[in-house]
Structure 1
Amino acid sequence: MVVQEFTVDLDKPLVFQVGHLGEAYQEWVHQPIVCKEGPRFFESDFWEFLTRTKWWVIPLIWLPVVCWCISMSVKAGHAPAEIAFMVALGIFIWTLLEYTLHRFLFHIKTKSYWGNTAHYLLHGCHHKHPMDGLRLVFPPAATAILLIPFWNAVSLLATPSTTPSVFGGGLLGYVMYDCTHYYLHHGQPSSALPKDLKKYHLNHHFRIQNKGFGITSSFWDKVFGTLPQAKQA
């Protein structure tokens, strides 16, 4: 008996279809469709709305939170140099978290129905439709939920008066990450550094998808040996 392979209908909401691909999901999701118009995820207009976010919403919502967090450490009596160090530490921690999540969670191998479905929502949709401008940044509602364990983790490592500024630095790192990520897909850089970073990231999407996990920099790729080889002429 020949079992017919499942085929995804791109004209219908995708989220509850992709799980049926089973082991074929990994190959399917890494064959990008380059189109600025993103697919529909859900039949429900409410859930569909929650999956779409304009890039400028990220700094609009989270930068005031960053400032408020830093102000808490200022009120606790810390000097400007101490605040600057703690914020920089938070940004540094975020860069490692950015790399770790991208490498080990966003690129986890799945084949079960719910595993494929969760992966598609988390990151697979971005690899399938890399130019979907409304799904390049993380929805604020989901970010707000994830910030709770991040705050708890920072509070275990820092003192009560330094936790807010370290947390604020980490949140600032996230804002920089999401805005940079959007720019790498839709911006037109004119100087060398952003040009190289854009090339580096698009290389991850279209040439070597199992390397080059850094977004804001290639630092951790160099540290952990996931720096892709340069394309031979």
Structure 2
Amino acid sequence: MANSNPTAETGNEKLPFWKRSHYLDRMTLKQLIVAYFQHYTIVAYLGLTAACVVAFAFFPTTPIRAIASFAAALIVYPLVWHLLHQYVLHGQWMYKIKPLASTWKRIHYDHHQDPNHLEVLFGALHTTVPTIFLATAPVGYLIGGVGGICAAFAGGLLTTCYYEFMHCIQHLAFKPRWKWVQHMKQRHVEHHYFDEDGNYGITNYFWDRVLGTYYIKKDRPKRSPTVFNLGYDEAIAAKWPYVKDLSGGIASGHPRRRVKGKEGFDPNASKNTIAQ
């Protein structure tokens, strides 16, 4: 059962909301909704969407072109996200480049280290906003000029809000009532706790099916040994130590079992390995 007071064990209840640590496996749906609409990234996405509406008023296009631009963004977005997730977030190259190591750690390594840690679940604005714009603006411009850009960018921003909320739901300690959400959640849980090499779509697995990365647990005989560290282990860290230095060590095994005498305990990982 979810802890009704998820901050009690941290002793930091008096701190401002986002100065505390929040874990989705200890939160209720109501607590998540409150947290979601308080997070600065969601506030920023909604604010940028409003800015798109204002900009559209100054640079309008026809209703048909606006709708087509918005719809095109919804179609393009899942493919762009899938490719970025598979080849950038799960790529074995960013941690090798010192200026990019902290970005890779923040945008995905920390999330896989502890998938239920809410603070690092939301994407960082300096990486997400430019990506959303580059993924949607060109198609919007081709369809409807500057007004099309506004419509397509707004579509990408709202889709991101949907992705972020559903992503939170997939890590929340409750069983969704709807079958399609249960299916979505199960595939994502397998990505985090069984084999990270597949099910990249988060909310849409169409491209996983097309590109051959879709799976269900029974299709793969063994749990991936790198499901929590994305392949960044002690051997890799010896050659490229940037993420290890930022994290205060290398943690392994299930995040809830990383205590002395339990699976994956690493005496060198005494610092917070999932700090932003």
* Alignment: residue pair count: 185
Secondary structure of the residue that 2:147 maps to in structure 1?
coil
Within the candidate set 147, 166, 183, 1:180 is matched to 166
Q: 5 Å matches for 1:2-151?
A: 54-56=35-37, 57=39, 58-73=41-56, 76-79=60-63, 81-110=64-93, 112=96, 114=98, 117-144=102-129, 146=131, 149=134
Gaps of 5+ in 2: 1-5, 8-17, 23-34, 222-276
Gaps of 5+ in 1: 1-35, 38-47
Q: Is the 8 A contact 2:77 2:136 kept in 1?
A: no
Bigger relative contact order, structure 1 or 2, given CA contacts below 8 A and separation 6+? 1
Q: Is the 8 A contact 1:66 1:171 kept in 2?
A: yes
Q: Displacement, 1:55? A: 3.0
Range that drifts further, 151-160 or 162-171: 151-160
1:70-101 CA distance string (max 9 Å, x none)? 4544651522x443332121122211111111
Flag the 1:229–1:184 CA change in 2: closer, same or farther, 3 A: closer
1:166 and 2:166 correspond = no
Mapped to 2, the partners of 1:97 and 1:166 lie a distance apart of: 14
Give TM-score scaled by structure 2 length: 0.57
Mapped to 2, the partners of 1:103 and 1:73 lie a distance apart of: 34
The corresponding residue for 1:217 is 204
Amino acid at match of 2:81: E
Amino acid at match of 1:119: W
Flag the 1:143–1:197 CA change in 2: closer, same or farther, 3 A: same
Q: Displacement, 1:211? A: 0.6
Q: Displacement, 1:209? A: 0.8
Amino acid at match of 2:73: G
Mapped to 1, the partners of 2:202 and 2:194 lie a distance apart of: 16
Mapped to 2, the partners of 1:173 and 1:92 lie a distance apart of: 10
Amino acid at match of 1:191: W
Secondary structure of the residue that 1:134 maps to in structure 2?
helix
Give TM-score scaled by structure 1 length: 0.66
